[in-house]
Amino acid sequence: MTRYMLLRLADAIPTIWLVLTLVFIAMRILPGDPAIAALGDAALPEQLADFRAKMGLDVPLWQQYFNFLYGTLSLDFGKSYMNGTPVLSLIARNLPYTIELTIAAMIIGVVVGIPLGVMAAVNRDKLPDTGVRIFSLVGYAIPDFYLGALFLIVFALNLGWFPINGAGDGFLDRVHHIILPAVTLALVKAAFIGRLTRTSLLEVLGRDYIRTARAKGAREPRVIYRHGLRNALLPLTTGLGLSLLATLSGSVAIELVFNRPGIGRMLIQSMTERDYGVIQGGVVVLALLVVLINLLMDLVYIVVDPRIRVK
Amino acid sequence: MTEAPVLVHAQPTAAAIRPLLKVEKLSVEFGPKASPIRVVNGVSFEVDAGGSVGIVGESGSGKSITSLAVMGLIPSPPGRIVEGRVEFEGTNLLELQKSRLPDIRGRDIAMIFQEPMSSLNPVMTIGDQIGEAIKLHEKMSREQRRERIVELLKLVGIPNPEGRLGAYPHQFSGGMRQRVMIAMAVACNPKLLIADEPTTALDVTIQAQVLELMHKVRRTLNTSILLISHDLGVIADVCERVVVMYAGRVVEEADVKSIFRTPSHPYTRGLLQSIPRLNDERTRLYQIPGSVPLAGTVKKGCPFVARCPDRIGRCAEEMPPMFAVSKSQRAACWVTAGAAAAASLGINEGATA
Amino acid sequence: MSTVIQPSSLSPDVDNTIAPEPGFRAALMHMIFGRKSTVFALAVMLIFIVVAVLAPWISPYDPLAQSFLSINKPPSAAHWLGTDQFGRDVLSRMIHGSRNSLLFGLISPALAAIFGTALGVTAGYFGGAVDRVISRLIDLLLAFPELLLAIMIAAVLGGAFWNIIAVITVAFIPGFARVARASTLAVKQEPYVEAAVAVGLRTPTIIIRHIIPNIAAPIVVLMTLWVASAIRLEASLSFLGIGTRAPNPSWGNIIRDGLNNLFGSPWPIIAAGFAITCVVLSFNLFGDAVRDVLDPETAE
């Protein structure tokens, strides 16, 4: 098991290298001079040279590449082209909000989605199943930012139950601020998780060992949760990982809807300002998060599946 | 250990005189209610306390479904029991409240299945799986339970039982898994053990070991056995009585000796002829011509009629009842059993025909 | 194989062209009219496509015409869906916005199917180092959710029309490539491909005549399923301000503008979001139905 984990960890290294290289290539094939983009056409040559020197753009490309790799690995993501703020501090300021939102949404999504899926599977082709099917169809179709906007209009603007924007200060205030965005993301996730749970559970409930459990005298709840869901967890783990990734990407739009600080809003803002320093940092952080989540998923899989864990 | 004996030898009681399990006119249908397919059709048989009965038949004969019906494990939908009784110690299980069935399963009636590879939960240790069977029915401390699990594993011949408690099914071979299944099944000292093709998926040598183990279980725990198999040889090894099923019906029922010496139903005869024998001079094995009719396609008459060498006109028209051929043998055939029964009763056959 | 065996060598009454099985037409009809949900989906899709095509002729106002006299009006007889903060008619903007959704929704999956299939077939057919490089790249890209990938690429490239097409296409390519690669690996083992290799057909001929037609079904299924995703993706990108740019209308940026005008009028948001949901839902349902017919094994 340890060997497998180490192998998997070792495998992440070339992936990270590939991701960083792709980001670097993409950033450098951009048409136009980043210095001109940052300072405008009217900038003086000295200003441009000064800017390039400050941002490390005055050295040969291969050197920039190694500086970039080294910088990223030592958590130096460069500086904002606009105001010179280190991107790391921007990320440090914004990332907690994104993580907080993603985790809150995932928890609600799982807590709502899995029971829904179980209910649908157990009552296959009956009313609850149809209900869950419709819920998941709409959940697949409705854009999260639209759902968020609707919630904002109804619960924040008209009913006044929740704040309209920001992330709040202090624990209770933060919870108050996070409810609407988290529920928005979670509902869309719950549709996916519910459907997935239904499919995997139905598949598992047809297996021979479920019959064995019943033959032992286990009652239905035990059969379904202890034997069924526990085994359905294997395919679900993959699904939950995908769901976590989707929640992360969904948080970008949701941060914009609810005007919450976060990596997504930081990235979008830097895009409208054409601040390539921050864009690069944001893209790298998101990419690293994706690699990390995938890695985590694999490790969780090892824990859930004894066939991999115990050889 | 002395104050809490873990493996109790079942004591014969007054109830043991009655049949332990009595199945009467059991019928099971599958598919939509509008056009149901009858897979089990009026099946009756009995298992005495301490006795062992085998149900033999080709695949599609309904023997497995019959055993699942006894356990109340017919997958529903699409299956359902449409009529009959399944009496266990005098209680009709079919009328029992659904919520009470789990109390009987595993404690009074236990079952092992054909596929040892897939019948164990892949994500639970075998110790936990056997322990669950105990925990569901008996209150005992964690230590007691552990001790019992070890003892059970010892009984079924798993080497180093203490060391294997934390192992997962994928770490065992097929034969070992079937042993674990048996340990799990007898964990609560059930009165009846149903074994559905327990050796079919195993190698021949392992088969013999598992059958030996079933003998051992019977000897040590005094468990009655209902063995389902397509292999008359396997049944003869373990059972005292045999029920022959064909296309959802019981066609013959007898003690093992009679089945082998004086098979009555033409189908049973065919089955016996198709068993390979070491001292046999023939180069080709006998094969019953034709194949089992698809479930639900036989509307009237004897289901074996199309393949039967002895058929008469009546066979296609009317399903024969079970005729008593001798004291311990009954068969459903107009020609062989019907004639014999008529002769022994001194009735003129022409009068009944 | 048809190049080897002449039609004359077959008995004349055997039709050796691969005609659709007799059940295909019936299956198609059943697929369309068998379920109420599919009928609903087709109706919505039809309306959507007609509106998008006829947009300039059926939209009651110029979608860009501002009018300071009628700002943030609720729905009325003159403006069925009201007006936005610039006094523009929301219905007209919606009608014109549908064109973007249709355009992106159809072009990107089609392009992604072409590039993805090319990549996947190349990897699957040639194997070896080519396969390893392509597979590694596909795996890497597949690790990213499409939206995130699109955002990241758009962040780097910026959001002109063809950039957005490229962004969505790239986001979809790995999915197609994976399916195409897997199917190619399976088809490559088939006797008719081995026979084609044996009789000395050139590689491009084998790929075009024997591989592609036999892996088409899952690709087409994926394409129909991803029309919905593409429409959603375009809406998301436009909402984020990196897709269709103001003042040009798209359903995504109608919601974006609406959010900046929450206190003015909620109608643009409600209407545009409802349209996206309905159209995406319909294409999803349609995609499911197509999958059930063409690729029944993968259906639930």
| ipTM of this complex | 0.84
- Residues on chain C touching A248 (C-beta within 8 angstroms): 145, 148
Which has the closest alpha carbon to A200: A226, A237, A247? A237
CA nearest to B71 within chain A: A215
> C165 vs chain A: nearest CA distance in angstroms?
17
Last residue of a domain, one of A73, A100, A129: A73
Size of chain C, expressed as the number of residues it contains? 300
CB neighbours (10 Å) of residue C26?
A: 10
pLDDT score of C24? 66
User: What are the beta bridge partners of residue B47?
Assistant: B21
Residues A166-170: contacts with CB within 8 Å, 24+ apart?
A166/A259, A166/A260, A166/A261, A167/A97, A167/A260, A167/A261, A167/A262
pLDDT score of A1: 67
Chains with 3 or more CB pairs under 8 A to chain A: B, C
* Burial status of residue A227 (CB atoms within 10 A of its CB: 0-12, 13-18, 19 or more): buried
- Stretch (H or E) spanning A49: helix A45-55
H or E, element range at A198? helix A171-205
Sheet of strand B91-92, all strands in order from the earlier edge strand to the far edge: B37-48, B19-30, B80-88, B91-92
How confident is the model at residue A182, as a pLDDT? Answer: 94
Closest CA–CA distance from residue C277 to any residue of chain A (Å): 5
Residues in A 156-175 with any Cβ partner in C closer than 8 A: 157, 164
Q: Say how far residue C11 (Cα) sits from the centre of its chain.
A: 43
CA distance A217 to chain C (A): 30
Q: What count of residues does chain B have?
A: 353
Report the C-alpha gap between B125 and B221 in whole angstroms: 25
- Which pLDDT score is estimated for B270? 86
Is 60 exceeded by the pLDDT of residue C41?
yes
**CA–CA separation, C275 vs C261, rounded Å?**
19
Six-digit token string for B59? 């695949």
Q: Identify all chain A residues contacting B180, using CB atoms and an 8 Å cutoff.
A: none
Query: pLDDT tier at B342 (50, 70, 90 boundaries)?
Result: low
CATH class of C49-54+80-294: mainly alpha
pLDDT at A109: 94
Measured in whole angstroms, the distance separating CA C155 from the mean position of its chain's CA atoms is 22
Q: How many CB atoms lie within 10 A of CB C187?
A: 19
Task: Return d(Cα B219, Cα B212) in angstroms, integer.
Answer: 11
Residue B135: CB partners within 8 Å, gap ≥ 6? B145
Going A255 to A261 to A263 to A265, the CA torsion angle's sign is positive
| CB-CB contact of B184 with B133 (8 Å) | yes
From CA C111, how far away is CA C108, in angstroms rounded? 5
In terms of Cα–Cα distance, which of B116, B242, B241, B91 is closest to B174?
Answer: B116
Number of domains chain B contains = 1
Instruction: Please tell me which residue of chain B has the smallest CA distance to A306.
Output: B123
Alpha-carbon gap: C136 to the closest alpha carbon of chain A (Å): 9
C-alpha distance from A126 to closest chain B C-alpha (Å): 12
- The verdict on A219 and A141 lying in the same domain is yes
Query: What pLDDT is recorded for position A169?
Result: 82
Q: Helices then strands (H, E): number in chain B?
A: 12, 12
CB B39 within 8 A of CB B247: no
Q: In terms of CA atoms, which chain A residue is nearest residue C251?
A: A146
Q: How far away is chain A from the Cα of C233, in angstroms, using its nearest Cα?
A: 9
Number of Cβ within 10 Å of residue C237's Cβ equals 27
What average pLDDT does this structure show over B280-309? Answer: 74
Asked whether the beta carbons of residue C269 and residue A150 sit closer than 8 angstroms, the reply is yes
Instruction: Calculate Rg over the CA atoms of chain C.
Output: 23
The answer to the question of residue B66 being in a domain is no
Percent of chain C with pLDDT over 70: 87
pLDDT at A72: 86
Distances in Å between the Cα of B132 and the Cα atoms of A229, A272, B43, B70 are 17, 61, 33, 22
Q: Let me know if residue B238 belongs to a domain.
A: no
Distance CA A176, CA A165 (A): 11
Strands B241-246 and B249-255: antiparallel
| C-alpha count within 13 angstroms, C-beta hemisphere, residue C96 | 21
With 60 as the cut, is the pLDDT of residue C16 above it? no
Spell out the domain ranges in chain C.
49-54+80-294
Decide if pLDDT at B279 tops 70. no
* Chain A residue nearest residue C234, CA to CA: A143
Pairwise CB contact (< 8 Å): A287 & C242:
no
C23-30 average pLDDT score: 68
pLDDT tens-digit readout, B37-49: 888 888 888 898 8
Quote the percentage of chain B above a pLDDT of 70.
87
pLDDT (tens digit per residue) in C78-88: 777 888 778 78
Flag if B136 and A305 touch (Cβ within 8 Å). no
Q: Write the residue in A208, A211, A230 that is nearest to B123 by C-beta.
A: A230
Q: Do A164 and C262 touch (CB under 8 A)?
A: yes
The more confidently predicted of residues A52 and B255 is: B255
| Model confidence pLDDT, tens digit, residues C236-281 | 988 988 877 777 888 888 888 888 888 878 888 888 899 999 999 9
Does residue A18 sit in the same domain as residue A96? no
pLDDT by residue (tens digit) across B59-90?
Answer: 878 888 899 888 888 887 788 888 888 888 88
Confidence at B14, pLDDT banded by 50, 70, 90: very low
Q: Which of A179-188, B96-105, C47-56, C234-243 has the largest mean confidence? A: A179-188
Å between C89 CA and nearest CA of chain A = 20
Neighbours of C112 (CB within 10 A): 25
> Residue B185: which domain range?
117-189
Mean of pLDDT over chain B: 82
State the residue range of the domain holding A61. Answer: 2-73
Query: Cβ separation of A304 and B167 shorter than 8 Å?
Result: no
Q: What is the mean pLDDT of residues B78-105?
A: 85
Q: Do B123 and A211 touch (CB under 8 A)?
A: no
Low pLDDT (below 50) residues in chain A: none
What does the pLDDT look like over C253-265, one tens digit per residue? Answer: 888 888 888 887 8
pLDDT at C17 over 50: no
Residues of B in contact with A227 (CB under 8 A): 121, 124
φ and ψ at A46, to 5 degrees?
A: -65, -40
**Does A239 lie in the same domain as A116?**
yes
C300 pLDDT above the threshold of 50:
no
Burial class of C200 by CB neighbour count within 10 A (0 to 12, 13 to 18, 19+): exposed
Is residue B134 situated within a structural domain? Answer: yes
Judge if A199 and A122 occupy the same domain. yes
> Residues A178, A283: one domain?
yes
Region B127-155: mean pLDDT is: 89
Alpha-carbon distance of B209 to B230, in angstroms, equals 18
Say if B and C touch: at least 3 Cβ pairs within 8 Å. Answer: no
Distance CA C35, CA C38 (A): 5
Nearest to B94 by CA among B105, B82, B103: B82
Instruction: Record the tokens describing residue A155, joined without a space.
Output: 């619960």
Mean pLDDT of C271-297: 85
Residue at A130 is within a domain:
yes
Of the segments A94-98, A236-240, B173-177, B281-285, which one has the largest average pLDDT value?
Answer: A94-98
Closest CA to B81 of B91, B94, B93: B94
Residue B149 lies in a domain: yes
Residue B252 falls in which region: left (phi positive, over 0), alpha (psi -120 to 50) or beta = beta
Token pair of C217 as six digits: 């079904």
> Which residues 71-130 of chain A have a CB within 8 Å of chain C?
none
Q: Which residue of C has its CA nearest to A26?
A: C156
Instruction: Kindly report the CATH number assigned to the domain that includes residue A151.
Output: 1.10.3720.10
Confirm or reject contact between A288 and chain C (CB < 8 A).
no
Could you give the CA distance from residue B38 to residue B42 in angstroms, rounded to a whole number? 10
**Averaged over C1-15, what is the pLDDT?**
37
> CA-to-CA distance for A144 and A247, rounded, in angstroms?
10
- Residue B1 confidence (pLDDT) above 70: no
Is B252 within a domain? no
For B72, nearest residue in chain A (alpha carbons) = A215
Residue with tokens 């006299």: C69
Question: Could you give the CA distance from residue C258 to residue A150 in angstroms, rounded to a whole number?
Answer: 11
User: Which chain A residues touch C300 with a CB distance below 8 Å?
Assistant: 199
Domain end: A16, A46, A73, which one?
Answer: A73
Q: Do A150 and C273 touch (CB under 8 A)?
A: yes
How many separate domains does chain A show?
Answer: 2
Distance to chain B for A305, nearest Cα, Å: 6
Per-residue model confidence (pLDDT) at position B350: 41
Nearest to A184 by CA among A162, A168, A204: A162
The answer to whether the CB of C213 falls within 8 A of the CB of C17 is no
Rounded distance, CA A162 to CA A177, Å? 7
Residues A149, A283, single domain; the answer is yes
Each residue's pLDDT tens digit, C116-146: 999 999 998 888 888 888 888 888 888 888 8
> What CA–CA distance (Å, rounded) separates C92 from A52?
47
Chain C neighbours among A 240-279 (CB < 8 Å)? 242, 245-246, 248-250, 252-253, 256-257, 264, 267-268, 270-272, 279
| Chain B CB contacts of A306 below 8 Å | 122-123, 125, 168, 170
DSSP C67: -
Q: Which residues of C, range 227-286, sit inside 8 Å of A by Cβ? A: 228, 232, 235-236, 239-242, 255, 258-259, 262-263, 266, 269-270, 272-273, 276-278, 280-281, 284-285
The pLDDT value given to residue C94: 86
Helix (H, G, I), strand (E, B) or coil at C216: helix
Is residue A149 within 8 Å of residue C269, measured between CB atoms?
yes
Nearest to A231 among B102, B121, B171 (CB): B121
* B179 assigned to some structural domain: yes
Residues in chain B whose beta carbon is closer than 8 A to a beta carbon of chain A? Answer: 71, 73, 99, 102-107, 110-111, 113, 115, 118-125, 132-133, 136-137, 167-168, 170-171, 181, 184-185
**Pairing status of strand B192-196 against strand B224-229:** parallel
- Judge contact between C128 and C187, C-beta under 8 A: no
Distance, CA of C236 to CA of C161 (rounded, Å) = 15
- Return mean pLDDT, chain A: 86
Phi, psi of A159 (to 5 degrees): -90, -25
Which residues of chain A does C242 touch, with a Cβ-Cβ cutoff of 8 Å?
Answer: 268, 271
